Structure 1
Amino acid sequence: MLVRSTLRSAARTRRGRAVADNLVAYGFMAGGITCFALFSWYPLVRGVLLSFQQVNFVTDPEWVGLDNFAALFADRLFWIAWRNTLLFTGLALVFGYALPLAIAVLLNELRHFRGFFRIAVYLPVMLPPIVTVLLWQYFYDPGNGLFNTVLRGLHLPESAWTQSSSTAMLSLVLVSTWSNLGAATLIYLAALQGIPADLYEAAELEGASVWQRIRHVTLPQLRFVMLVLLLLQIVATMQVFIEPYQLTGTTNPDTITVMVLIYRYAFTVNHDFGLAAAMSVLLFAVLGLFSAAYLWLTRERA
């Protein structure tokens, strides 16, 4: 009995010492959980509840069930916003997915001025998004903007850029691509530097050309990073807001996106936070289902 009592006492002492040693870690963990609960989980739950209510500045909140979702599907702008968002995402992938990889491969092959070019590529990422958009707003100005000034100097026809239905969406995509190019490029560059040099040496001994080395060595080694960045870019571009909001406004049917329509529902025309919340829940559900399906389909390829 004395031996058992001694063993229990020693075990309690060890547990108490372990708790005391990790008390600071538990404190940091509690702070992180509290921040997530207040600023992530509570707004998420609150947003889902709002989607089933009629909430505005005039009347008290009223439970309306699925009426908000029915109103969304009956709204013509709802379908236009989804069409524009998908178009923006597709164009952003065309311009902004392969280009960072190409630039990263080029920077990885440089022997001089590596640091300068890496800073130059990453510089747009360090600018606040609104500053970037205002800068490009000057570039796109149909009167004395930089682009039209250059076109006039070259005796070429000028463009309305963001004011023309044929070029507005492409203009937004160029802004988004330029501002987000640097982060993906540096991620690819870091992954490239992790590829063993022996693989390239073996390929050179086999007589592989530059393109063959990229195709059979570089791209297979970057498969996991490419799959992750593809998912992140699709999720990010589906939530585009600043570019269309600042450059073309909230009423342009050629560039209105899902996020801009959410803002429009909540703060401009309708002042209906329930309707905006319902739109947000639908966007969350679409992105969640897409992410789950994408990860399931690519789990073996990565």
Structure 2
Amino acid sequence: MTGTTLGAGGAVADATARPPGSRPSSRRRARMRETLVGYSFAAPNLILLGVFLLYPLGLAAVLSFTRYSGFGAPEWIGIANYAELLSDATFWRALINTTFFTALTLLGSVGLGLAIAVLLNKALPGRALFRTIVYAPMVVSGVASGLIGVLMFDENTGVIDKGLIALGLPAIPFQSNGTAAMAAVILMTIWGRTGFNMVIYLAGLQGIGAELYEAAELEGAGPWQRFRSITFPLLGPSTFFLLIMNVIYSFQVFDLVFVLTGGGPGDATTMLTTYAYTNAFTTRAQGYAAAIGMVLLVLMLAFAAVQWRLNRGRDVTE
């Protein structure tokens, strides 16, 4: 018999059989090689994240427990900075401003981006040009956007107030009235973020099959019913992504506010980021500024965790 040997007890054994345990070991070695290859490809990014993100975050976390002016050695004070935040009226005003700003810019930019995406997803003349125009603000830096905002909303030389005066209407005090100043910041942010949201929604819309709309139309569904029952639910993953990205952006907004209003008038447009900057580089309370930064980080992580938990099963098919 080819390929077999007769054992001492008369049993036939396969001559080509591998030693016990050799196959699982080879599988483990193959998995190990695949894992090492994967980590080797990811290593450059992991190193950059560690050096430029995780390490600075660790230093900031340690600094938040100290009193430090940027000169000399930090003085360890435990949770004193965090305790001081609880009684700091400016911090709470900055937190309220940041939350209010985030809510309005989120609703405005995401809602407007969705509306424009639905419109430009149809065959319209000049569609590519309109997409480019809407997306163009995204390539403008925050500082440049702030300067454009100054040209638009300056009380003395701004285009808007000059236009209102030319029409015989009263000028709007964008720089001396807190509500008007916040409105200017929100409008400039919506202008800058709508293009990004539009592009993400356009990608989601192009992944929805036309046959779904055709079937709904045959059943007598109108445009609003098709949008409510087909378009919006199937754009769930895009909406989830945009919620996370826009909230993170809004909580981290700095350059636009710093250039356009400087946090004023008073503390009307002071955000957590601008307040942390003021403490770090104006009053030189860098330990206190680090504590503000840690609170900001925790808030963003908490929001991301809640959104992830609420949406983790959205794309799971049974």
* TM superposition score normalised by structure 1: 0.89
Question: For this pair of structures, how many residues does the alignment match?
Answer: 300
Could you list the per-position Cα deviations for residues 12-56 of structure 1 after superposition, in whole angstroms to 9, with x for gaps in the alignment?
A: 999999999999876543322221111011011111111111121
Counterpart for residue 258 of structure 1: 272
Between the aligned partners of 1:25 and 1:108, the Cα distance in structure 2 is: 38
- The Cα of 1:193 is off from its aligned counterpart by 0.8
> What amino acid is aligned across from residue 132 of structure 1 in structure 2?
S
**For 1:56, which of 65, 69, 77 is the aligned residue?**
69
Moved more, 234-243 or 98-107: 234-243
RMSD: 2.8
Counterpart for residue 248 of structure 1: 261
Counterpart for residue 167 of structure 1: 180
Counterpart for residue 103 of structure 2: 90
| Secondary structure at 1:208 match in 2 | coil
Counterpart for residue 158 of structure 2: 145
Structure 2: 5+ residue runs without aligned partners?
1-15
CA contact (8 A) 2:70 2:286 kept: no
> What amino acid is aligned across from residue 275 of structure 2 in structure 1?
L
Counterpart for residue 216 of structure 1: 229
Q: 1:286 to 1:20 in 2, by over 3 A?
A: closer
* TM superposition score normalised by structure 2: 0.84
- The Cα of 1:227 is off from its aligned counterpart by 2.3
Counterpart for residue 276 of structure 1: 289
Structure 1: 5+ residue runs without aligned partners?
none
Counterpart for residue 111 of structure 1: 124
**For 1:189, which of 190, 199, 202 is the aligned residue?**
202
| Pair 1:36 & 2:49 matched | yes
| Pair 1:293 & 2:312 matched | no
Between the aligned partners of 2:244 and 2:40, the Cα distance in structure 1 is: 34
Could you list the per-position Cα deviations for residues 227-261 of structure 1 after superposition, in whole angstroms to 9, with x for gaps in the alignment?
A: 22123222221222122211111453111010011
CA contact (8 A) 1:161 1:168 kept: yes
Counterpart for residue 168 of structure 2: 155
Counterpart for residue 252 of structure 2: 239
Q: 1:91 to 1:25 in 2, by over 3 A?
A: closer
- The Cα of 1:161 is off from its aligned counterpart by 1.5
Between the aligned partners of 2:124 and 2:157, the Cα distance in structure 1 is: 40
Identical aligned residues as a percent: 36
Q: 1:146 to 1:53 in 2, by over 3 A?
A: same
Point out which structure has higher relative CO (alpha carbons under 8 A, 6+ apart): 1
Q: 1:15 to 1:229 in 2, by over 3 A?
A: closer
> What amino acid is aligned across from residue 90 of structure 1 in structure 2?
A
Between the aligned partners of 2:138 and 2:89, the Cα distance in structure 1 is: 35
Between the aligned partners of 1:73 and 1:16, the Cα distance in structure 2 is: 55
Between the aligned partners of 1:176 and 1:219, the Cα distance in structure 2 is: 24
Could you list the per-position Cα deviations for residues 198-226 of structure 1 after superposition, in whole angstroms to 9, with x for gaps in the alignment?
A: 00111111222211211111111112211
**Greater Rg by CA:** 2
CA contact (8 A) 1:91 1:170 kept: no
CA contact (8 A) 1:107 1:114 kept: yes
CA contact (8 A) 2:109 2:197 kept: no
Between the aligned partners of 1:102 and 1:21, the Cα distance in structure 2 is: 45
Q: 1:93 to 1:14 in 2, by over 3 A?
A: closer
